A and B are shown apart, each in its own frame.
Chain A
Amino acid sequence: MGTLNTFRAGPDETGHFGLFGGRFVAETLMPLILDVERAYNAACQDPSYQSEYDYYAKHYVGRPSPLYFAERLTEELRKDAPADRGAKIYFKRDELNHTGSHKANNVLGQILLARRMGKTRIIAETGAGQHGVATATFCALFNLPCVIYMGATDIERQAPNVFRMKLLGAEVKPVTSGTGTLKDAMNDGLRDWVANVENTFYIIGTAAGPHPYPAMVRDFQSIIGREVREQIMEAEGRLPDALVACIGGGSNAIGLFHPFLDDKEVRIIGVEAAGHGIPTGEHAASLTGGRPGVLHGNRTYLLQNEDGQIQDAHSISAGLDYPGIGPEHSWLHDSGRAEYVSATDAEALEAFQLCSRVEGIIPALEPAHALAHVGKLAPQMERDALLVMNMCGRGDKDVFTVAEALGVKI
């Protein structure tokens, strides 16, 4: 793949990024998947769809989000670095979006599409609750009934988001199959969709699932990277040297990365959740610790055993606790265009506290994984190097989890 002219052309017309992606779904869903694809392609050609998106992105979501020079974190990480080292760190502040994460970018795009298709009922899966909250929010705005599937385990550890969704008028359905986490919620979302295919639109929360979802979600999230390009040119007059983002399914990461894929001088780094550590087997790092397989409509790297049974992921962050990853990341990994590393629960907790203390920004546990890697990477980079990290969510939802992990009673 070294001879590719562009890394931005995928997927092909059958929804494949090289080996990855595809449409591995039940026949009941196939006609609808094809419908979604047709409707999305038509919408992309329709300026009124884009202008509607832009209107709500600006006035309701609050875009563009700032690109912020994290000066104190930069200084903090320079303390232990050699004199000429310690990159300038910028945060892309997508945690300032309405609903508190990057998820709104995607839900807005999909719900406008659902309306164009005449769908009258919305379903979604959620892990940390960020996607569920974003979906419930837009359903309230557009007056559409909303059912959110959420693993019973996650309901317990993300109680504030569960209550938020209910306030917003959504029905939250606890999923007890499997381990009651994100993968099981996605299974039940697909089961609901099969049964209600005529009136229901499934708003998938990450850049995974059957084609056209990985491409469609990436397109909606790419607003992040497009804004960063403009903002960094304005601030520094040049492109960044490195991009860092956390990866569960990988939608915030692909949104930041995609507009930069053909800028070869920009290092691109995704950070998976290493949970208790890769060697323990209790982690959520599909690329580092998994291998290609087929689940939830696409071929991608998966955590699985030697018989092809999917294994449970583990991460302190419910949003990264998924045994798969978006297919485009699998392809970027195999093609070598992007690097994928991991950070443990403990490292993320450290970074969570550091960022709160020195920047006054309480990050979500998901981008705290990206921050943990920034803490390793920035001190190795030149002093005038530019590093952009996607602060894709805020940490209000996580304060209870973190308190518990630190042994603090609140």
Chain B
Amino acid sequence: MTEQSRIERRFAALKAEGRGALVTFVTAGDPDPETALELVKGLPGAGADLIELGMPFSDPMAEGPTIQASSLRALNAGMTLAKTLAAVRAFRQADDDTPIILMGYYNPIYIYGVERFVNDAKAAGVDGLIMVDLPPEEDEELCLPALKAGIHWIRLATPTTDDKRLPTVLNNTSGFVYYVSIMGITGTKAVPIDHVREAVTRLRRHTELPIAVGFGIRTPEDAAAVADTASAAVVGSAIVDAIKAELDEDGKAKPGLVAKVLAFVETLSNGVRSNRAA
């Protein structure tokens, strides 16, 4: 990657602007492929600086009930990995700047075929991958092929990643580091701001990469506080909850879902932007 990638350009621009990024997570195809695509297309306009797109999986072992349910909604609506890549392609037709990171579990990619996946993902405009169940010990599976294809490999660091293990985790990490602020699954505990400050300081001793922090960030205030300390705040379950709130009894999208969810994203974005603007 000699030329700057979308992720690198975006973080450089935000640094110049003097604020942290808002990374928004939604599950591809939730609650249905069409609504989800409309929502994703609207995210940059609502203030999302980077988009993390979940690849639905039947057995998402690091997710809390909220994101588990979103994954199932998407699968029940017929979402597949091929359709997720098609959604990224569709997004890229109108937006060539906002980085898209795919997050998920290895099995659907393994079945799709690793070489085929990295080629198709790169061509579709995917910028990075976050793979929950591929630790450094399994780098030969997908990490090295992805890096070779010019896709960033964004690793999760956690409270259990001590100074001894951190270099192992940072090796082959690119784009940014994602710090999981709590021990546990998504959407279940509130973000501990003091701990985040300490952790970010510790990580910065080991890496120059931007540091995103996620898990437990639910409000504009949380997002502002985290983005003030780290390079980015990731909000997932709170947005997915906003989607769920706009479903009818049959789990179908109510009219106006996209607008309501984007309005919520805008409040998060205002929180992040309130930081260093002055």
**Residues of A with Cβ closer than 8 Å to B?**
14, 22-32, 177-178, 183-184, 187, 190-191, 194-198, 293-297, 299, 302, 304, 306-311
Contacts and interface: CB of A to CB of B under 8 A. Distances in A.
Contacts of A198: 183
A289 B96 CA distance: 43
B61 interface: yes
B183 A197 contact: yes
Interface of B: 56-62, 64-65, 68, 75, 80-82, 105-112, 132-138, 155-162, 165, 169, 180, 183-185, 188
A36 to B, nearest CB: 13
A307 B108 contact: yes
Nearest to B79: A307
A308 to B, nearest CB: 3
B106 A24 contact: yes
B110 A293 contact: yes
Contacts of B159: 28
Contact of B183 (A14, A194, A296, A306): A194
A186 B99 CA distance: 34
Contacts of B134: 24
B135 A27 contact: yes
Nearest to B105: A294
Contact of B160 (A28, A293, A308): A28
Given A27-B157, A27-B161, A187-B61, 18 more contacts: A23-B138, A24-B134, A24-B138, A28-B160, A29-B160, A178-B59, A183-B59, A191-B62, A191-B185, A194-B62, A194-B183, A195-B185, A197-B160, A293-B107, A294-B110, A295-B59, A308-B110, A309-B56
A42 to B, nearest CB: 18
A177 B68 contact: yes
Contacts of B64: 191
A14 B65 contact: no
B132 A26 contact: yes
A26 B107 contact: no
Given A294-B106, A295-B59, A24 B133 contact: yes
Contacts of A306: 111
Given A26-B156, A295-B107, A304-B111, A309 B135 contact: no
Contacts of A302: 107
Nearest to A35: B160
A309 B108 contact: yes
B135 A308 contact: no
A294 B60 CA distance: 12
16 contacts: A23-B137, A23-B138, A24-B138, A26-B135, A27-B156, A27-B160, A28-B156, A187-B60, A194-B62, A197-B160, A296-B61, A304-B111, A306-B111, A308-B81, A308-B108, A310-B58
Contacts of B81: 307-308
Contact of A28 (B57, B106, B107, B183): B183
A295 to B, nearest CB: 6
Given A24-B134, A194-B184, A309 B158 contact: no
Contact of A26 (B61, B108, B165): B61
Contacts of A308: 57, 81, 107-112
A300 to B, nearest CB: 11
Contacts of A197: 160, 183
Contacts of B65: 177
B46 to A, nearest CB: 30
A187 B159 CA distance: 21
Given A30-B135, A30-B137, A194 B108 contact: no
Most A CB contacts (10 A, CB to CB) among B75, B136, B184 go to: B184
Nearest to A307: B80
Contacts of B133: 24-26, 294, 297
Nearest to A306: B111
